[in-house]
């Protein structure tokens, strides 16, 4: 078992091992999905991306509220997004912006085309 998988096991009150499902989820995958969605959203005023403009597409893609929260927290921890203290908007950090800087133009165009087709 990997380090994260072994940490996912906890003891119940009866002494049996139980699996804590949140500890084995791939929070980085949630964070990457959020960052991809945020990248497709047109920023307003000083690079602000309103949280609902990221939340709605994430939930529409099948994510849950808990997964959204976990993804935001991981994106912040990874240094990809900065969340305003009010919780109303995020901004890309330099590291978050660089995630998309290496994509070839054709791949960026394809991502934007897929996003536009879903609307």
List the domain boundaries for the chain: 26-118
> Which of the following CATH numbers is that of domain 26-118: 3.90.1170, 3.30.160, 1.20.120, 1.10.10?
1.10.10
**Position with higher pLDDT, 81 vs 27:** 81
pLDDT for the residue numbered 114: 43
Tokens of 96: 């978050």
pTM for the whole thing? 0.65
Please, what is the average pLDDT of the chain? Answer: 74
CA–CA distance, 73 with 117 (Å, rounded to integer): 29
Q: What is the mean pLDDT of residues 38-52?
A: 93
- pLDDT bin (cut points 50, 70, 90) of residue 101 is confident
Contact assessment for residue 28 and residue 78, using Cβ atoms and an 8 Å cutoff: yes
Contact assessment for residue 91 and residue 81, using Cβ atoms and an 8 Å cutoff: yes
Q: Determine the 3-state secondary structure of 10 from DSSP.
A: strand
Q: What is the mean pLDDT of residues 45-54?
A: 94
């Amino acid at each position: 078992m990997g380090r994260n998988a072994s940490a996912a096991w906890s003891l119940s009150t009866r002494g049996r091992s139980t699996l804590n499902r949140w500890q084995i989820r791939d929070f980085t995958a949630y964070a990457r999905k959020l960052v991809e969605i945020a990248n497709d959203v047109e920023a307003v005023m000083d690079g602000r991306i309103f949280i609902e403009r990221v939340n709605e597409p994430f939930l529409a893609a099948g994510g849950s509220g808990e997964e959204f929260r976990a993804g935001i927290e991981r994106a912040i921890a990874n240094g990809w997004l900065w969340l305003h203290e009010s919780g109303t908007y995020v901004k890309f950090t330099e590291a978050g912006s660089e995630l998309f800087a290496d994509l070839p133009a054709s791949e960026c165009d394809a991502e934007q085309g897929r996003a536009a087709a879903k609307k």
